Amino acid sequence: MDSKITTFYKNKTVFLTGGSGFLGRMIIEKLLRATEVKRIYILIRSKRGQEIKSRMSDFSSNYLFREVLKSNANYLERVSPIAGDCELPDLGLSEADRKMLAEEVEVVIHGAATVNFVELLSIALSINTRATRLIVQLAKEMRRLEAIVHVSTAFSNCVTEHIKESFYPELLTCTADEVLALKDQLSNKLIDKMTPALLGEFPNTYTFTKAMAEQVVQKEGRDLPICIFRPGMILPSIREPSKGWIDNLYGPISIVYGCALGVVRVMILNKEARCNIVPVDFCANLILASAWQTSVETAKRQLPAPDPPIYNFVPTDKNPLFWKTFTGTIENQRYVFPLNQMLWYPFLICTPSLWVFKILSAFYHNLPAFFIDIGLRLKGQKPRMKSIYKKVHDGINRLFPFVISSWSFEMTNSSRLLECMSPQDRKIYDFDMNSIDWVDYLTSAAAGIRVFLLKENLTEESLQAAQKLCKRLSILNGLAHLVAFSIPVAIIWWVLSLTYL
């Protein structure tokens, strides 16, 4: 049986924003490996002094594209960079590139965003909200357009506990039109000062501006073949092109990384809360499948157009994941995939209480950092642990709203999409969250952190050396705890002995 989705992408021209990011690269890899896509245009900007051609050359050396390289060494010929920037007016596109996109593009995947939770509101509005409007406006010029997928987030409406596959304009303090008009009229500095008033109950500028972007899609994209994809926290791949692939520190992976090194020892976390994580390759598969389905449904659609369909994507009620399983599984992997670069024995104390966290972090983070920095100063080196732990605590505080609360999600559209796919398509573009063995997945994610982030191969020699180091640090950790608890006991004993003399 032929794959309808693979057939859909044959000889298609795709325009992708966010193509240099974690999810974007996975989408590119899957299109090149599984389809005969004609051309993938990716919006890309120069970054940290790297010009566009230099950034594109990074693709050829990325482990992610290893399988594609085996089958086609010239795969990059189908990937064309387009100079642009979502923070700029008109996406920073030249008139010639805009005209070319309008004439050639059939599928648009808008994945570009700033995921910095504490991004200045003026910047987040430009990249997350205004750029979405500009993409919608550009799409209206595309003569051959068949589908658009707007990548949002499962937490775009996190101020409500039960999140349906629908729009929530009532949760916003004002409309996207009003906020974008304010941004055009006022200085960035003034907009940033208005942040608390504009955010309302939203925990950060990221969720707020993504919610506003959804409203833009609802109001201005109604007559376009468009849908919205809302994934949970995107973590390493589960299967493709290899298990555990990840290229940077995202969400809770940054905490896992710090814990594996023995640096992060205390975390604010409600272990009984639902853990809404999703594998990056499943996300890519659902995006490609939803574009196909949007094209099919649009051909059947009659006016007036309904709201664009939304695909929530998190662990299902039939196969849920809780933070206690997440932390327990990851913690067990310290014996299976220990790191040769670990600085201390890895352990993690979790508490849902902010005050308890502050007390514990004073003993397990700040106090050790103080003594280490003293040692560095005595050696004539620059102290650094205090600044490191400041970044760690800032990261934990940003994650706080998402690891304490539980949300329930409706996933009717995502389930229906999976059911309407052929057996062949379900095999090639699998995103069945009920099929995941969470312990196995988290184990492969732990291995992925070791291999892809810390560049430590899973050779027997490397693992044995790390396991020996782990045992030595375990003994030192035990002795350190013994000494730490013995000192207050000794003081209390001494005070009591003086009292009874």
CB distance 148 to 293 below 8 Å: no
456-485: pLDDT as tens digits: 888 889 989 999 999 999 899 888 888 877
Q: Is the pLDDT of residue 501 over 60?
A: no
Which stretches within 118-204 are classed as H helix? Answer: 121-124, 131-139, 176-185, 188-193, 195-199
Which amino acid, 220?
E
360-384: pLDDT as tens digits: 999 999 988 898 889 888 888 888 8
Q: Is the pLDDT of residue 65 over 90?
A: no
Mean pLDDT of the chain: 90
Report yes or no on 400 lying in a domain. no
Overall average pLDDT of the 330-344 stretch: 87
CA distance 52 to 45: 6
Per the structure, the count of domains in the chain is 1
**Least confident window among 7-21, 218-232, 296-310, 409-423:** 296-310
State the pLDDT at residue 335.
83
CA distance 42 to 296: 24
Q: Is the pLDDT of residue 334 over 90?
A: no
State the pLDDT at residue 62.
77
CA triplet 180, 185, 191: central angle to 5 degrees? 70
Report yes or no on 21 lying in a domain. yes
- What DSSP assignment string belongs to 413-482? HHHHHHHHS-HHHHHHT---GGG--HHHHHHHHHHHIIIIIS-----HHHHHHHHHHHHHHHHHHHHHHH
Neighbours of 69 (CB within 10 A): 15
Q: Is the pLDDT of residue 26 over 70?
A: yes
CA distances to 17, 107, 283 from 471, rounded to whole Å, are 46, 53, 38
CB distance 215 to 172 below 8 Å: yes
CA triplet 402, 433, 458: central angle to 5 degrees? 85
Query: In this structure, what CATH number is given to the domain that contains residue 39?
Result: 3.40.50.720
433-457: pLDDT as tens digits: 999 999 999 999 999 999 998 888 8
Beta-carbon contacts of 239 under 8 Å, excluding residues fewer than 6 positions away, are 279, 281, 430
CB distance 178 to 254 below 8 Å: no
CA distance 474 to 478: 6
Residue 500: both structure tokens together: 């009874």
State the pLDDT at residue 70.
76
CA distance 102 to 484: 67
The residue ranking higher by pLDDT, 171 or 72, is 171
Report yes or no on 457 lying in a domain. no
CB distance 227 to 309 below 8 Å: yes
| Rg of the chain (C-alpha set) | 25
State the pLDDT at residue 306.
80
Report yes or no on 169 lying in a domain. yes
Own/partner long-range contacts of 460-466 (Cβ < 8 Å, ≥24 apart): 462/340, 463/337, 463/338, 465/340, 466/337, 466/338, 466/339, 466/340, 466/342
Choose among 149, 110, 138: nearest CA to 227: 149
Query: Does a cis peptide bond (omega within 30 degrees of 0) precede residue 304?
Result: yes
Overall average pLDDT of the 121-143 stretch: 96
CA distances to 217, 322, 417 from 31, rounded to whole Å, are 25, 32, 19
Q: Is the pLDDT of residue 404 over 60?
A: yes
Report yes or no on 180 lying in a domain. yes
CA distance 39 to 17: 14
The alpha carbon of 195 is separated from its chain's Cα centroid by a whole number of angstroms, namely 24
Query: How does 136-162 read in b/e, with b if 16+ C-beta sit within 10 Å?
Result: bebbeebeebbbbbbbbbbbbbbbeee
pTM of the model: 0.93
Choose among 326, 329, 334, 337: nearest CA to 450: 337
Report yes or no on 463 lying in a domain. no
The alpha carbon of 57 is separated from its chain's Cα centroid by a whole number of angstroms, namely 24
166-217: pLDDT as tens digits: 999 999 989 999 999 999 999 999 999 999 999 999 999 999 999 999 999 9
State the pLDDT at residue 302.
61
Q: Tell me which residue range forms the domain holding 28.
A: 4-241+275-315+407-436
User: What is the band of 493 on the pLDDT scale with cuts at 50, 70, 90?
Assistant: confident
Beta-carbon contacts of 452 under 8 Å, excluding residues fewer than 6 positions away, are 63, 236, 244, 245, 246, 247
State the pLDDT at residue 250.
81
What whole-number percentage of the chain has pLDDT above 90?
64
State the pLDDT at residue 500.
61
Beta-carbon contacts of 221 under 8 Å, excluding residues fewer than 6 positions away, are 136, 139, 148, 150, 308
Assign residue 316 a region: left if phi > 0, alpha if psi is -120 to 50, beta otherwise? beta
Q: Is the pLDDT of residue 69 over 90?
A: no
Report yes or no on 125 lying in a domain. yes
State the pLDDT at residue 215.
96
Q: Is the pLDDT of residue 330 over 80?
A: yes
Query: Of all helices (H) and strands (E), which one includes residue 110?
Result: strand 107-110
Beta-carbon contacts of 119 under 8 Å, excluding residues fewer than 6 positions away, are 127, 205, 206
Report yes or no on 450 lying in a domain. no
- What DSSP assignment string belongs to 240-278? SSSTT---S--THHHHHHHHHTT---EEE--TTSB--EE
